Amino acid sequence: MNNLKTVGLLAFMTALVVLIAQVLGFSPVTALIFAFVFNVFIYFFSDRMALKASRARPVTEAEFPQVYGIVRRLTQHTDMPMPTIYVIDSPQPNAFATGRSPKKAAVAVTTGILDILTFDELEGVLGHELAHVQNRDILISSIAAMLAAAISMVARMAFWFGRGNSRENPIGAIGAIVSLLIAPIAAMLIRFAISRTREFQADRSGAEITGRPLVLASALQKISNGTSRIPMNVNPATSQLFIDNPLKAVRGRRVSKLFSTHPPIEERVRRLTEMASGIR
């Protein structure tokens, strides 16, 4: 079901690009070219961009043997290639995975998450991140983010380089202003919706990998408490990749669910608890 939702959301997003182009005077072909170029770019460079934007640095097994040991055991259990391990020097407890395929995957954890989680809880979190890689939803989310950027770019270009003088073409000018305001919001909502559904799926898949959904639930509660207090210097474009919203400390806990990149921790914990009890 999540895969069908994702396909539908991406199809709607691409159609939105074409619609904006028609309203503002761009040809549908131009809009499709925008989408294609951005898709190709993010396919090959999304992992590098996410790691750089998050200030993650590669580490060796000698530096972090516990993380390497857990990831190696989980990847062997799931018959996945060993990802590259990164660490982010931040007191906020958080983690994310990126990469266009399991062979090109990278897993990053903050120093803060290593300080507050037990060994079993850290295993639950890393299982969650490996589930993202296994499900290949990191790539899908990245494509959605770049299409969102393409929509915003089309709207801004139309506003500044649109169809001539506003007196000669007042409708075109009004359309440019409306698109400039509405298109980025629509794109963000679609990207956020994709992220939220994927987090639920990764929670379930990660709990299946480790066999201990309650341990992941415990880790999520600790992470949520940590992210609500400690700000993290991270690019907003990559916030959806983290296991919990790293900007929550900046934006506050009472962020509207409509604009949240992550589902509520309480809902995620409830689902994991029901999973442990055998409730579907």
Q: Which residue matches tokens 């480790």?
A: 210
Scored b (16 or more CB within 10 A) or e, 207-239 reads bebbebbbbbbbbbebbbebbeebebebeebbb
Task: Based on the residue annotation, tell me whether 129 is a catalytic residue of this protein.
Answer: yes
Give me the phi and psi of 120, to 5 degrees please.
-65, -40
Q: Which residue among 121, 123, 129, 199 is the active-site one?
A: 129
Strands 95-98 and 106-110, bridge-based pairing = antiparallel
The C-alpha atoms of residue 159 and residue 20 are separated, in whole angstroms, by 11
Domain spans, the chain: 2-276
Per-residue pLDDT in tens (0 to 9) along the chain, 280 residues: 545 655 665 666 667 666 666 666 667 777 778 667 766 776 788 788 888 888 999 999 999 999 999 999 999 999 999 999 999 999 999 999 988 788 989 999 999 999 999 999 999 999 999 999 888 877 776 666 666 666 666 666 656 655 444 455 554 555 556 656 666 666 666 666 666 788 999 999 999 999 999 999 999 999 998 877 788 888 776 788 899 989 886 655 444 454 566 889 999 999 999 999 876 5
